[in-house]
């Protein structure tokens, strides 16, 4: 198939950036979206032009590196699919495809389609863990976990930190990402001791890192490649309320 | 091994305490399952994402330390050289991948945890960023490289679909618990799988290995798949594939049970191939997956360079010539959580080390080497891309240093690698410059190191005139085609010392002593 790509080119964080049009011929429907970009890049290099920079690593939907807006959709048109898992059979011959980086205040563009998602790390560093000094862990079987809770925790643990939820959110909020981690850890007995300090730490770090507030727009869960459900945010809010009440705060301040 | 077995239990305790969501039984206790090469259920798991979940657990623990100010994290930095002062590892030279800035970090010790080198084959199940540069640079500075030819080829990957292929996707090994592997009995049978009746199918693993059946170890399953494809019985458009069929399991356990166990893998398969594995049998083919070789380390995980420690897939320890399922994660976590904290502390306690900073002549020289190499890569400005060289190198390796190796093939490969390496340095085109983010430059440096490693892998494979584990020499097989060991001559670790570009590497042998269990011809029949 033959395609026209319109790709965001931005040489560095200070560059204003622009869309540039590239025709790409002989695309096989069996190619992944990133393989199609590889083909373009090989041609650009031989033509003496700068290849398009994009992040990727695992190319199988587990590392979260490859996010990009494809025709205005985070990770493209197929639900539950990262850009690296998207295959060209989802597109038709002759189509024009717009490709842009995540756009969010907390994720500044580094170059072309590459953004800095380091703000997520800051949220995790502020509480997205269970304190368990190495060597002091109790025998794993000493605390059973009800299968239903274990399964629900697992569902939330599937988040790959890709940032699609942020890119799709009209407010640039990182609440789904934060809520996924809060939910996973607060469903497990091991996560109870830090349950309330965790949620406050993470939400504060989220706000400080420049993410917007959540207004329940629900776009995040639609684009999430791992199907993290919106009710995790409800759970986070519940924990946050209890936590601030414990701390004697007025909620929302 | 003994130590690994001891701490392995603590690993699960540690990870559970961190909140890693392992699968649970209805009673709330941890669930286990059987995994390739084992007939008992003894592997803890987190659906098809065990590695990912263990990684996230470790990542979160690390982020906690970063938050506490105990660790400074420099992401998007690549180590390009090791600094040695007075024979000890004292620092590294890194390039900031975002700004292009080269800097030198000095330290009392250096730990490499830079993973395996499977991407020397271009196509592998490894992430695209995996490379050998960190360990290869250390090797060039004196760290011995052990058993480089020991690579693991995983039997259950999605077959290659065309020349554009950039990586291969593993379908977790666990699928072999419920899937049955087969090909048509007749050569060139082009019928769709559902039109091939039961008695015209060859469930070859169950036939040849009745006691282990579909759960034979990886190398055996891989070679068997290659053998049936070589006989012209392969399936799919490229004929380099075999079926992994879940029809029986779905009939027996119900679709829901299969979905609960493998749902995400089935989805992944459908996305890539456009076929629904609940309806049509999966197609699989072997692919490079893991490298047992790596930098030689002692019991303390210290390399032959004092102060340079190597952990995880980057070292050669524990797996011998063939790794069993689930044990890479176990080894990596044991190294990092339980072994290194003691041995590294021990090394540091033997100090104090002389104070050095980045102005030390050795550090300045290492940095100059890095800058010079980058300059040379950018200056070639030839007519071929880095990827085109990498692909070609990968083909040579897959052909001659992959599932089956022979003397003639390996000699040919060594000549071809040398010739291609010369071409690389004359014809490669790296776009852009050394400033800022330049992915083409990053790849060029890694491929340049892969060329050197590839040659050493072939030399190692050539010298080891026996078959063992992942290393199968065509000349050394039993009458029924199984690996023929030669423990009289080869019961040793081959640790290679670098002696200069173009100079032959020197072989050091570490004898393997087996006190309790003695190696023998394996039988999975
Ligand atoms: C698809 C797949 C499935 C697997 N499934 C299992 C399983 O079920 N069970 C099991 O036991 N094992 C499994 N393995 C193997 C196991 O995951 C790996 O062996 C293990 O993750 C290696 O861990 P590591 O920390 O040593 O290296 P890696 O996880 O490879 O990490 C190395 C890191 O170093 C970085 N790096 C490399 N070079 C440099 C440099 N020069 N400078 C700076 N950074 C550098 C890399 O970017 C990477 O982040 C699987 C592997 C794959 C590919
Ligand atoms: S919640 Fe979903 S969309 Fe957001 S980072 Fe996690 S996986 Fe990506
Ligand atoms: S490259 Fe890892 S999720 Fe896409």
Q: Give the pLDDT band (50/70/90) at residue A253.
A: very low
What pLDDT, on a 0 to 100 scale, did the predictor assign at position B39? 62
On whether both A75 and A124 belong to a single domain, the answer is no
Statement: residue B525 has pLDDT above 90: no
Cβ neighbourhood burial of B501 (10 Å; 0-12, 13-18, 19+): exposed
| Nearest residue in chain B measured CA to CA from A79 | B271
Catalytic residue among B47, B95, B180, B218: B218
The residue from B231, B255, B289 where one domain ends is B289
What pLDDT, on a 0 to 100 scale, did the predictor assign at position B37? 53
pLDDT, tens digit, 9 for 90 and up, residues B115-169: 999 999 999 999 999 999 999 999 999 999 999 999 999 999 999 998 899 999 9
**Which of A54, A62, A158, when mutated, tests ligand 3's pocket best, judged by the most ligand atoms within 8 Å of its CB?**
A62
DSSP strands (E only) in B426-512: 428-429, 492-497, 506-511
Select the residue from A51, A60, A79, A84 to test the B interface by mutation, using most B Cβ atoms within 10 A: A60
Statement: residue B397 has pLDDT above 90: yes
The per-residue DSSP string of A33-99 comes to HHHHHHHHHHHHHHTT-PPPP---SSSSSSS-----EETTEET-SSTT--TTT-BGGGS-TT-EEEE
Statement: residue A177 has pLDDT above 60: yes
Q: Do A137 and B337 count as a contact with CB atoms less than 8 A apart?
A: no
Residue B462, number of CB atoms within 10 A of its CB: 19
On whether both A140 and A81 belong to a single domain, the answer is no
Q: Do A134 and B64 count as a contact with CB atoms less than 8 A apart?
A: no
User: Two tokens at B249?
Assistant: 């399991």
| Nearest residue in chain A measured CA to CA from B69 | A125
- Residue B181 near residue B243, CB atoms below 8 Å: yes
Q: Give the pLDDT band (50/70/90) at residue B24.
A: confident
Of the listed ranges A61-65, B131-135, B213-217, the one predicted with least confidence: B213-217
Number of domains composing chain A: 2
On whether both B137 and B213 belong to a single domain, the answer is no
B45 belongs to a structural domain: no
Statement: residue B290 has pLDDT above 90: yes
Q: Kindly tell me the sign of the dihedral angle through the C-alpha atoms of B316, B322, B326, B330.
A: negative
Asked, as a colleague might, if the bond just before B352 is cis with ω within 30 of 0, I would say: yes
B224 belongs to a structural domain: yes
CATH code of the domain covering residue B213: 3.90.700.10
Statement: residue B356 has pLDDT above 80: yes
What average pLDDT does range B432-454 have in this prediction? Answer: 96
Alpha carbon distance B147, B466 (integer Å): 13
Statement: residue B401 has pLDDT above 50: yes
pLDDT, tens digit, 9 for 90 and up, residues A85-102: 999 999 999 999 999 999
The residue from B289, B323, B345 where one domain ends is B289
The residue from A82, A111, A140 where one domain ends is A111
What pLDDT, on a 0 to 100 scale, did the predictor assign at position B26? 83
Share of chain B above pLDDT 90, in %: 79
Cβ–Cβ pairs < 8 A, chains A and B: 175
CATH code of the domain covering residue B501: 3.50.50.60
On whether both B368 and B465 belong to a single domain, the answer is yes
Q: Do B24 and A145 count as a contact with CB atoms less than 8 A apart?
A: yes
User: Two tokens at B268?
Assistant: 């992944």
Is B218 among the catalytic positions?
Answer: yes
CATH code of the domain covering residue A171: 1.10.1060.10
> How many angstroms away from the CA of A93 is the closest CA of chain B?
17
Distance of CA B32 to the CA centre of its chain: 24
What average pLDDT does range A190-205 have in this prediction? Answer: 96
Q: Do B431 and A42 count as a contact with CB atoms less than 8 A apart?
A: no
ipTM of the complex: 0.94
Q: Do B272 and A188 count as a contact with CB atoms less than 8 A apart?
A: no
Alpha carbon distance A67, A81 (integer Å): 10
Residues with CB under 6 A from ligand 3: A 56-59, 61-66, 82, 84
On whether both A106 and A138 belong to a single domain, the answer is no
Statement: residue A246 has pLDDT above 90: no
> How many angstroms away from the CA of A40 is the closest CA of chain B?
11
- Residue A132 near residue B61, CB atoms below 8 Å: yes
- List the Cα angle A159/A161/A162 in 5-degree steps: 110
Alpha carbon distance B165, B158 (integer Å): 11
What mean pLDDT, rounded, does chain B reach?
Answer: 93
Ligand 2 centroid–CA B371 distance in Å is 39
List the domain range (segments joined by +) for residue B263: 154-289
- Residue A209 near residue A174, CB atoms below 8 Å: yes
B11 belongs to a structural domain: no
Q: Give the pLDDT band (50/70/90) at residue B36.
A: low
On whether both B183 and B220 belong to a single domain, the answer is yes
What average pLDDT does range B422-431 have in this prediction? Answer: 97
Q: Whose CA is nearest to atom 8 of ligand 2?
A: A162
Q: Cβ contacts of residue B173 below 8 Å, gap of 6+?
A: B35, B36, B154, B155, B156, B218, B325
Alpha-carbon separation of residue A115 from A106, A112, A207 (angstroms): 10, 8, 19
Alpha carbon distance A83, A96 (integer Å): 17
B362 strand-pairing partners: none
The residue from A111, A141, A170 where one domain ends is A111
Closest by Cα among B168, B57, B44, B335 to A140:
B44
Alpha carbon distance B517, A89 (integer Å): 53
On whether both A94 and A39 belong to a single domain, the answer is yes
User: Which among A42, A86, A139 has CB closest to B387?
Assistant: A42
Give chain B's end-to-end CA distance (angstroms, integer): 26
Q: Do B341 and A134 count as a contact with CB atoms less than 8 A apart?
A: yes
Ligand 3 centroid–CA A23 distance in Å is 25
Residue B482, number of CB atoms within 10 A of its CB: 17
In chain A, what residues touch B129 (CB-CB under 8 Å)?
A: 57
What pLDDT, on a 0 to 100 scale, did the predictor assign at position B38? 60
User: DSSP class of residue B301?
Assistant: S
On whether both A129 and A242 belong to a single domain, the answer is yes
Share of chain B above pLDDT 70, in %: 98
On whether both B134 and B194 belong to a single domain, the answer is no
Number of domains composing chain B: 2
The residue from A111, A131, A156 where one domain ends is A111
pTM for this prediction: 0.95
On whether both B276 and B407 belong to a single domain, the answer is no
Statement: residue A38 has pLDDT above 50: yes
CATH code of the domain covering residue A84: 3.10.20.30
What pLDDT, on a 0 to 100 scale, did the predictor assign at position A249? 62
List the domain range (segments joined by +) for residue A88: 3-111
pLDDT, tens digit, 9 for 90 and up, residues B70-115: 999 999 999 999 999 999 999 999 999 999 999 999 999 999 999 9
User: Which among B29, B166, B440 has CB closest to A141?
Assistant: B29
Statement: residue B64 has pLDDT above 80: yes
Q: What number does the ligand 1 atom closest to the CA of B173 have?
A: 8
Statement: residue A109 has pLDDT above 80: yes
The per-residue DSSP string of B108-174 comes to S-EEE-----GGGGSSSSS-TT--SHHHHHHHHTT--EE-TT-EEEEEEEPPP-STT-----BPPGG
Question: Cα-atom radius of gyration of chain A, to the nearest Å?
Answer: 20
On whether both B418 and B507 belong to a single domain, the answer is yes
């Amino acid at each position: 198939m033959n395609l026209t790509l319109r790709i965001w080119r931005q040489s560095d964080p200070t560059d204003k950036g622009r869309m540039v049009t590239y025709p790409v011929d002989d695309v096989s429907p069996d190619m992944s979206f990133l393989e199609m970009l590889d083909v373009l890049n090989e041609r650009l290099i031989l033509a003496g032009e700068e290849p398009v920079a994009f992040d990727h690593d695992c190319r199988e939907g587990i590392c979260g590196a490859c996010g990009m807006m494809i025709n205005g959709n985070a990770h493209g048109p197929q639900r539950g699919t990262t850009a690296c898992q998207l295959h060209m059979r989802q597109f038709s011959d002759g189509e024009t495809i717009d490709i842009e980086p995540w756009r969010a205040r907390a994720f500044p563009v580094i170059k072309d389609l590459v953004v800095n998602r380091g703000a997520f790390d800051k949220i995790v560093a502020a509480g997205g863990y269970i304190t368990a000094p190495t060597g002091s862990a109790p025998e794993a079987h000493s605390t059973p976990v009800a299968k239903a809770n274990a399964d629900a925790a697992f569902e939330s643990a599937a988040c790959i930190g890709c940032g699609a939820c942020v890119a799709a959110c009209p407010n640039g909020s990182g609440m789904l990402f934060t809520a996924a981690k809060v939910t996973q850890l607060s469903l497990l007995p091991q996560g109870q001791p830090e349950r309330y300090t965790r949620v406050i730490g993470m939400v504060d770090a989220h706000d400080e890192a420049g993410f917007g507030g959540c207004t329940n727009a629900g776009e995040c869960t639609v684009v999430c490649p791992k199907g993290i459900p919106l009710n995790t945010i409800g759970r986070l809010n519940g924990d946050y309320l209890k936590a601030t009440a414990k701390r004697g705060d007025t909620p929302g301040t | 091994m003994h130590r690994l077995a001891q701490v392995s239990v603590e690993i699960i305790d540690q990870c559970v305490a961190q909140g890693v969501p392992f699968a649970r039984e209805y009673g709330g206790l941890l669930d286990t399952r059987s995994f390739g090469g084992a007939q008992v259920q003894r592997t803890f798991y987190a659906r098809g994402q065990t590695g990912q979940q263990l990684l996230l657990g470790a990542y979160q623990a690390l982020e906690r330390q970063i938050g506490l100010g105990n660790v400074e994290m420099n992401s998007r930095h690549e180590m390009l050289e090791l600094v040695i002062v007075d024979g000890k590892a004292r620092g590294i030279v890194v390039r900031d991948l975002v700004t292009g800035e080269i800097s030198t970090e000095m330290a009392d010790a250096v730990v490499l945890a830079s993973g395996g080198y499977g991407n020397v084959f271009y196509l592998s199940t490894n992430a695209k960023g995996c490379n050998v540069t960190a360990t290869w640079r250390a090797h060039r500075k004196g760290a011995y490289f052990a058993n480089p030819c020991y690579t693991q080829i995983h039997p259950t990957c999605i077959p290659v679909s065309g020349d554009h292929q950039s990586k291969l996707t593993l379908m977790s090994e666990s699928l072999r618990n419920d899937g049955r592997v087969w090909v048509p009995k007749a050569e060139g049978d082009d019928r769709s799988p559902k039109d091939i009746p039961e008695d015209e199918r060859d469930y070859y693993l169950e036939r040849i290995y009745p006691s282990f059946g579909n759960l034979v170890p990886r190398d055996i399953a891989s070679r068997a798949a290659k053998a049936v494809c070589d006989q012209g019985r392969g399936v799919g458009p490229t004929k380099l594939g075999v079926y992994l069929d879940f029809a029986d399991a779905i009939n027996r356990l119900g679709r829901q049970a299969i979905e609960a166990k493998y749902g995400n893998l089935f989805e992944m398969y459908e996305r890539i191939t456009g076929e629904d594995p609940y309806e049509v049998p999966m197609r699989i083919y072997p692919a490079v997956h893991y490298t047992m070789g790596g930098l030689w380390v002692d019991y303390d995980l210290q390399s032959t360079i004092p102060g340079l420690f190597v952990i995880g897939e980057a070292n050669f320890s524990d797996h011998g010539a063939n790794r069993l399922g689930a044990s890479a994660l176990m080894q990596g976590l044991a190294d990092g959580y339980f072994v290194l904290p003691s041995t590294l502390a021990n090394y540091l306690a033997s100090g104090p080390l002389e104070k050095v900073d980045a102005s030390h002549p050795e550090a300045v020289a290492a940095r100059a080497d890095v800058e010079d190499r980058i300059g040379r890569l950018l200056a070639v400005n030839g007519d071929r891309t880095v990827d085109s060289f990498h692909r070609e190198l990968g083909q040579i390796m897959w052909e001659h240093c992959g599932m089956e190796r022979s003397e003639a093939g390996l000699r040919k490969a060594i000549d071809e690698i040398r010739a291609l390496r010369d071409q690389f340095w004359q014809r490669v085109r790296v776009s852009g410059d050394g400033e800022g983010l330049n992915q083409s430059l990053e790849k060029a440096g890694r491929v340049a190191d892969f060329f050197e490693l590839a040659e050493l892998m072939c030399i190692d494979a050539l010298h080891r005139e026996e078959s063992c584990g992942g290393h199968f020499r065509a000349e050394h097989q039993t009458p029924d085609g199984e690996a023929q060991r030669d423990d009289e001559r080869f019961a040793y670790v081959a640790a290679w010392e670098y002696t200069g570009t173009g100079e032959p590497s020197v072989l050091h042998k570490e004898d393997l002593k087996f006190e309790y269990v003695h190696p023998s011809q394996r039988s999975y029949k």
